[in-house]
Structure 1
Amino acid sequence: MKLPFRGAVDCDIHPAAPPMPALLPYMNDYWSDQLHNRYVDRMGFAMTSNNPLLPIHGRPDWKPKGGVPGSDTAMLRSQALDAFGTDYAICNIIHGAVVLFNGDMASAILSAFNDWVARELLPTDRRLRGSIVVSLQDPKLAVAEIERLAGNPDFVQILLPSLGEMPIGRRIYWPVFEAATRAGLPICLHAGGLYRQAPMGSGWPSYFVEDYVTQSTGFEGALVSLLAEGVFQKFPDLTFVLAETGATWLPPFLWRQDKMWLGVRTELPWIDRIPREIICERVRLTLQPFDAPSDPTLVERVLDHFGTDEILLFSTDYPHWHFDGEDVVPDGFSPELIRKIAIDNPYATYRRLQKPHIATPAASELST
């Protein structure tokens, strides 16, 4: 289904990360020399879980000639912004530096990367908004980076990979959550990981499909950790966005979480109400890839199981391989729900976004 109106907020697009030499001008002499002398500036820095050279990273019809998907800003503008009448699109670029064991080097590269985003990517189109990318190797450095960029209104969230070195709710990460709260920025956990541990509990998989399908269990683990460790209670104003997660795994997870909590709730006295209510208030999921059946009646039943129309955020996931092209909304979504997830929910989640105008019908709708 196509969007029936203009004015949507796309909460997950993927411009390509720049080559390392493009970041050197944003580094001091020490780090510029270090990266050059150690040949780091000639590395691709592609993550195992987010390699732009793999066919799965982009649809063949969205790949520019001679470049990786998302590297051509004119194509991005035409295919991901103009095509849907998008008012804003949030750029989620997980740079490979997040996996480095050297926290100082990771911080230096990511600071340069964030500056490149602010000065070279976002100015290419007024509709683009950025995500502050930080490494959790050294939470103090992550806090410093958040505070450094918090005053830039073009950054609307903090971006982290969903599978880290430790469960995300651990107190070692709480200073990052506190900094996000002070800045009024949501934290986005995006599919992918550091690969410190196997993505599946029994060990390393043989095939990509095993990794990809089990990514949802990583998000389940993140939610359980945030709940059990008391993050939602400690930071009552902090919102978490789960990006590129799929969505249909959430209702059965909530059923299981609620049932288990009822049996062991004396262990977690700080959780003073049913977990479903907390998650539905504090967590948001991007739409794509929407892993529901193709039957619209079954999609409607899945949506009913969420129990709220506030949890989904519109996204295209451009230009990834499961991007659905023009039919970006699954059949089975009512016009009211589409408007809710495409406009109301994103603006409620990303408080820094200002509505430029009231959503209007798409050109295709005006001609009918």
Structure 2
Amino acid sequence: MSDVLDRPLTEQEATAATRLRVIDCDIHPSIYAHSDLNEFLPKRWQEHLKTFGGHLRTPYIGTTPYPRSSPLICRRDAWPPTGGVPGSDLAFMRKQHLDPLDVEFGILQVLDLFIFSQQNLEFGAAIQRAINDWQLAFWAHRDPRLKASILAGQDDTQLAIAEIERCAKTGEYIQINVSPRANEPLGRRRYWPIYARAQELGLPLGIHVGGYGGHAPTGSGWPSYYVEEHQSNAHTMAAQLASLVIEGVPERFPKLKIVFIEGGFGWIASAMWRMDRHFERFRSEVPHLKRRPSEYVKEQFWFTTQPIDEPDEARHLRQLIEWVGVERLLFSSDYPHWDFDDPRFAFKTPLTDAERNKIFNTNARAVYNF
């Protein structure tokens, strides 16, 4: 052993010792078949799923309102050779994503079956519980790099708290996930018990784009095209940031960490500037806020990088990063979706070694207590 320690490192060993490993905050696993959930799902709900399927708050039955531009919103090369849909084969995920891109930890973000958007809240809670258990059994227990999130359907607060308590006892989940397209803005007090429990448990609150709360995704109605609907995800996140901050969630829960996932970050600086400007004019309307809105954002909110805004000039992306703050950014790939960001090429502007280390690793390490 002393001989190994005393000799000079080979070039390969030196590279391995100094390489930057990636913490990917947005990996989407998929269910291979509904029968995979049977061991976690009571017989009643197995039959319900088989007979009736889901009942979403959308204008169409059994599908999303807008067709995606690639099958299942995924890369064409992400279909496993063994069958199944993209994201459903762990061995293929290792080969295509985790191993070649040197992912140290990957945070699972499950979108299957739209548990946040089920009209039948009891069915939604049953699916939510099954998927939470499935994340551990099929993914986290089979590859320790993958970390599960507690899916909590926020529109039935009592059921959500019960599920959070059940999962938190295992100590195997690293955040609590709610949907931004909820029945009401997330700053409303009806959701505060979830935030209170997240703070007590020391678990970040993850808010991943998507969901169907029964409302049109824009302020003026339903878009005509998928590209419009996709664009509206950022608008939804901006609205929820304003709701959470202005209704006083970070003031009431000062130790709560909130992570916005897959909403990009190009809009954040202007959102902070606008909130601060309005706060100066309307301070008397919101006496519960003790500080400027941007101060809460810069202390309690983080934003994953995907989809990275790509202005024509690299210096403009550089300015965006500086305005938001490099400490606020967490890398995410969105694997295996069509707008996936490869960590090797994601930023088209030079980053210092310190900045790259923060965005790709240490910021997430601190937020999630890895």
Instruction: Output the TM-score relative to the length of structure 2.
Output: 0.87
Q: What is the CA–CA distance in structure 1 between the aligned matches of 2:156 and 2:141, rounded to whole Å?
A: 30
State the match for 1:94 in structure 2: 111
Unmatched tracts of structure 2, length 5 or more: 1-17
Q: Is the 8 A contact 2:30 2:85 kept in 1?
A: yes
Q: What is the CA–CA distance in structure 1 between the aligned matches of 2:166 and 2:26, rounded to whole Å?
A: 23
Q: Deviations along 1:23-67, whole A, 9 cap, x unmatched?
A: 12212343334444x3439x9x97627988943611112222443
Matched letter for residue 267 of structure 2 = W
State the match for 2:8 in structure 1: none
Q: 1:294 to 1:153 in 2, by over 3 A?
A: farther
State the match for 2:219 in structure 1: 201
Q: 1:298 to 1:21 in 2, by over 3 A?
A: same
Q: Is the 8 A contact 1:52 1:68 kept in 2?
A: no
State the match for 1:6 in structure 2: 20
Q: Deviations along 1:213-268, whole A, 9 cap, x unmatched?
A: 12111111101111121111111111111111111111111111111111001111
Q: What is the CA–CA distance in structure 1 between the aligned matches of 2:138 and 2:115, rounded to whole Å?
A: 19
1:170 aligns with 2:188: yes
Q: Is the 8 A contact 1:100 1:106 kept in 2?
A: yes
State the match for 1:82 in structure 2: 99
1:26 aligns with 2:43: no
Q: Deviations along 1:10-32, whole A, 9 cap, x unmatched?
A: 11111113432221221234333
1:243 aligns with 2:261: yes
- Correspondence 1:210-229 to 2 at 5 A: 210-229=228-247
State the match for 1:184 in structure 2: 202
Q: Is the 8 A contact 1:157 1:186 kept in 2?
A: yes
Q: 1:53 to 1:143 in 2, by over 3 A?
A: farther
Q: Is the 8 A contact 1:50 1:57 kept in 2?
A: no
Unmatched tracts of structure 1, length 5 or more: 354-368
CA shift, 1:153, in A, is 3.0
State the match for 1:361 in structure 2: none
State the match for 2:71 in structure 1: 55
State the match for 2:271 in structure 1: 253
Q: What is the CA–CA distance in structure 1 between the aligned matches of 2:291 and 2:142, rounded to whole Å?
A: 46
Q: What is the CA–CA distance in structure 2 between the aligned matches of 1:329 and 1:172, rounded to whole Å?
A: 38
Q: What is the CA–CA distance in structure 2 between the aligned matches of 1:330 and 1:46, rounded to whole Å?
A: 37
Matched letter for residue 16 of structure 1 = S
From 50, 66, 90, the equivalent of 1:73 is 90
Q: What is the CA–CA distance in structure 2 between the aligned matches of 1:346 and 1:221, rounded to whole Å?
A: 24
State the match for 1:288 in structure 2: 306
CA shift, 1:195, in A, is 4.3
Q: What is the CA–CA distance in structure 2 between the aligned matches of 1:210 and 1:24, rounded to whole Å?
A: 37
Q: What is the CA–CA distance in structure 2 between the aligned matches of 1:263 and 1:89, rounded to whole Å?
A: 43
- Correspondence 1:270-349 to 2 at 5 A: 270-306=288-324, 308-325=325-342, 327-332=344-349, 333-349=351-367
Q: Is the 8 A contact 2:67 2:226 kept in 1?
A: no
Higher alpha-carbon Rg: 2
Q: What is the CA–CA distance in structure 2 between the aligned matches of 1:236 and 1:336, rounded to whole Å?
A: 28
Q: What is the CA–CA distance in structure 2 between the aligned matches of 1:197 and 1:29, rounded to whole Å?
A: 32
Q: 1:233 to 1:188 in 2, by over 3 A?
A: same
Give the aligned CA root-mean-square deviation in angstroms: 2.3
Instruction: Output the TM-score relative to the length of structure 1.
Output: 0.88
Q: Is the 8 A contact 1:181 1:237 kept in 2?
A: yes
1:232 aligns with 2:250: yes
Q: Is the 8 A contact 1:244 1:317 kept in 2?
A: yes
1:137 aligns with 2:155: yes
Matched letter for residue 118 of structure 1 = L
Matched letter for residue 76 of structure 1 = M
